[in-house]
Structure 1
Amino acid sequence: MPPERPLLERLRTGLRWTLAAVYLVAGIFHLRNTASFVRIVPDWVPWPTQTVIATGVCELLGAAALLSVRLRRLAGIMLALYAVCVYPANIKHAFDHVAIDGRRLGWAYHAPRLAFQPVLVWWALFCGGVIDWPFRGRRNDENV
């Protein structure tokens, strides 16, 4: 039996604020430590410095939009797409053993990080109200 709507909405709200905080911090890191992040940009991505700056801006805007009722759904979709788009950088970071600030992170960091990326996609979609899974198989607009 699916959880009651108030409980589901409290869960969604808590996860939404947490995800917004995660993207806020990530955006700040991307903008403050751009050179460190440029190292993990795949070679086929043009303008790596500008790309890292753009990702930081996207994270900040996504965090703010996720907290906006009017933009929440769009933010959820765009942050899910964002998580898919940056996955190649996470792969490069892991498989090329790229050092950030002189530190190489081992597989104890990279394996969970790579495995968690689909969760970030779900998290953004859930927080944006795009999906209710696994709490409901399908959204029923009459019960929203």
Structure 2
Amino acid sequence: MNQKTVNQVARIALGANLIFAGISHLTFARKAFRAQVPDWVPLPKDDTVVYSGIAEIALGSTLVLTDQQHQQAVGKVAASFFTAVFPGNLSQYYNHRSAFGLDTDRKRFLRLFFQPVLIYWALKSTDNL
């Protein structure tokens, strides 16, 4: 498999995961996502979860459907999104909030290291080789 194909599969997989996560924000995992919203966010926690879910569905759909000409721009937007939501992961760790099976400080701490992976994934999978 060549690098272009690997990137395409990775981009579509990331997009599909974002769509799934966005749908879960709006439905079955809504309460769990509220645990990640930092207290300093000026919107109600449920509104923040809904808006971020809509953003994830839109971003995931764009990753899946984008043409080659716009992939790098979409990848940068996705990486920026993952950077923007990182304070939620920090808040979950700092405030000892259990959600998504992250029920210990160790698990919540280790989760923090996955965010840079998502950022790299967004950028690398949309790199036009």
What TM-score results when the alignment is normalised by the length of structure 1?
0.76
- The match for 2:37 is 41
- Please report how far the alpha carbon of residue 80 of structure 1 lies from its aligned counterpart in structure 2 after TM superposition: 0.4
- Please report how far the alpha carbon of residue 95 of structure 1 lies from its aligned counterpart in structure 2 after TM superposition: 2.3
- The match for 1:80 is 79
- The answer on 1:121 being equivalent to 2:119 is yes
Rounded to whole Å, the distance in 1 between the matches of 2:97 and 2:109 is: 14
Cα deviation 1:45-95 (Å, max 9, x = unaligned): 111222211111111111111121154333211110111111111011122
* Larger RCO, structures 1/2 (Cα 8 Å, 6+ apart): 2
Rounded to whole Å, the distance in 2 between the matches of 1:76 and 1:90 is: 21
User: In the alignment, is the contact (CA less than 8 A) between 1:30 and 1:55 conserved in 2?
Assistant: yes
Rounded to whole Å, the distance in 2 between the matches of 1:120 and 1:104 is: 18
- Please report how far the alpha carbon of residue 110 of structure 1 lies from its aligned counterpart in structure 2 after TM superposition: 2.0
Pairs within 5 Å for 1:61-72 = 61-67=58-64, 68-69=66-67, 71-72=70-71
Task: Give unpaired runs (5+ residues) of structure 2.
Answer: none
Is the radius of gyration larger for structure 1 or structure 2? 1
Cα deviation 1:88-111 (Å, max 9, x = unaligned): 11011122111338x662245323
Percent identity for Structure 1 against Structure 2 = 29
For residue 50 of structure 2, the aligned residue among 42, 47, 53 is 53
Aligned-partner residue type, residue 29 of structure 1: S
- Please report how far the alpha carbon of residue 12 of structure 1 lies from its aligned counterpart in structure 2 after TM superposition: 0.3
What is the root-mean-square deviation of aligned Cα atoms in Å?
2.1
Runs of 4+ more than 4 Å apart: none
Rounded to whole Å, the distance in 2 between the matches of 1:82 and 1:45 is: 16
What TM-score results when the alignment is normalised by the length of structure 2?
0.83
Rounded to whole Å, the distance in 1 between the matches of 2:117 and 2:102 is: 24
Structure with the larger helix share: 2
